[in-house]
A and B are shown apart, each in its own frame.
Chain A
């Protein structure tokens, strides 16, 4: 079930669609307990993060045979080693030596075909095989074949690498992504781009920051200077009502309004100076020609209305791939405890070829940093408000439908004994 606005006329007075009910969701108040309960967080760790497919990185992070990276996934208390072997196969392992449990690879990334434990020198090939045990003869019935690195299920969709901590995942990545995987297949992502990364560690439940990116209702009030001028309109759409709200099984997306006539204000001299570069959007860093290809994809900006600023697509549970006239970026919202989060924002952009383009990118980076700061500070305040116990439910309007859908899906995973049941 899904809904999109059919023409721009409707938007003049704001969207009159009811995305919430068209997606089959209830309209009542929603419990805030899972944002503040340590017990529910422990359950999320097992039921959700222990069973769902989780995004771990892009294939470009493993550019060559023998490339690898290591990432900590705090919510699973795991250090994950992701490798590309000589044949090009990408695999993930627990980054833990089979001898006595030490962490194996100690650098965040690099290129090597084998890994040697710093403790006693046990050595593994990057396909996980144990190939060397110093003074092996002094062990008792050691079977090296059975002592390779503990593997973690891995699969790839459109260059995005996912892992699953179930020893044998109940569903494949393809089944897990379902119709989302079909709608967004083939979006032209430019893979020779550089990445800009903003990381934030802060004191709020992970869902609060995911929720912040799930609606534009807060943009005029929360980001009055950094975003609102381009993402709302003082007359046509002053509350930044969305163009579309869609669900795809476990996953969801919304299309945010954008003022197609936005120009830098006359006194925004640096913005005007920097934006003489031909980007697809004043608020992006991708070049126009690439953005035209992105916009042509049927899944991107499904309404095809010109008054569009971004699609937020939220892959359950904690990953966003967002498309905009300025390019694309991803969010990883990683819980580190019930009330702390590590957020990784990765923005793709071309490598600058001129001084002015590099200045435009600096301005873009600065704007993003400030948006992150506004949202993080805001989430920390919400966490305090919720932990005070003053309210037990939150009120969600139609433009906040993605939050309702997220909590609805999370509830099912929290309750269900099997993934198959959770996905019904």
Chain B
């Protein structure tokens, strides 16, 4: 995590979510969602969903492997909604029912481009 991460112009409304949800790997995003309260997950989910199509359109202008820092920050924030959706759309709670946390499971190799 870098100390100062900012989003591209036009996405300032998402800045409050950057510190918690912008992570470098799929595994870290999973951890963050698993540790968060349902209220916080829902709040991020609602805000990011509202801007998701805008974000995809904005990011499509850059090659996936050479994004400027602010675009990369937005990309990682967008990816975090993939995790938030598991809680909001599937479990209706932060983690799977009857599951343990912490646990000994890791996404040790995520998909290329900010998957780890």
Classify the secondary structure of B's interface with A.
helix
Is the C-beta of B68 less than 8 angstroms from some C-beta in chain A? no
- 25 CB contacts below 8 A, A to B, read A194-B111, A196-B115, A198-B107, A268-B85, A270-B45, A270-B49, A270-B88, A270-B89, A349-B111, A352-B64, A352-B112, A355-B56, A355-B59, A355-B64, A358-B111, A359-B56, A366-B26, A366-B85, A367-B86, A370-B90, A370-B91, A372-B105, A373-B99, A373-B103, A374-B96
Count residues of chain A with CB under 8 A from any CB of chain B: 44
Distance, CA A380 to CA B55, complexed state (A): 41
Inter-chain CA distance A195–B88, complex, in Å, is 27
**Residue of chain B at shortest CB distance from A378:** B98
Q: Which residues of A contact B56 (CB under 8 A)?
A: 355-356, 359
| Complex: A72 Cα to B91 Cα, angstroms | 36
B91 proximity list for chain A (CB < 8 A): 225, 370
Instruction: Identify 8 new A-B residue pairs, CB closer than 8 A, beyond the known A269-B89, A349-B111, A376-B100.
Output: A198-B106, A355-B64, A355-B75, A355-B78, A363-B85, A366-B83, A370-B95, A376-B105
Interface residues in A268-313 (C-beta closer than 8 Å to B): 268-271, 273-274, 285
List the one stretch of A26-34, A148-156, A199-207 in contact with chain B: A199-207
Contact flags A323-356 to B (C-beta < 8 A → 1, else 0): 0000000000000000000000000010111111
- Whether the Cβ atoms of A199 and B100 lie closer than 8 Å is no
Does B60 count as interface, using CB distance less than 8 angstroms? yes
| Cβ A196 vs Cβ B107 within 8 A | yes
Contact A273 B103 (CB under 8 A): no
B105 touches A362 (CB 8 A): no
Asked if B104 and A201 make an inter-chain contact with CB atoms under 8 angstroms apart, the answer reads yes
**Cβ of B2 under 8 Å from chain A:** no
Q: Which residues of A contact B64 (CB under 8 A)?
A: 352-355, 358
Are A366 and B115 in contact, CB atoms less than 8 angstroms apart? no
**Contact between B103 and A365, CB atoms less than 8 A apart:** no
Give A273's nearest chain B residue, CB to CB: B52
Does A361 count as interface, using CB distance less than 8 angstroms? yes
Assembly CA distance A273 to B86 (angstroms): 14
Residues in B whose Cβ lies below 8 Å from that of A196: 26, 107, 109-111, 115
Known contacts A270-B49, A355-B59, A370-B96: A362-B115 contact under CB 8 Å = yes
- Given A197-B108, A377-B100, residue A370 in contact with residue B115 (CB < 8 A): no
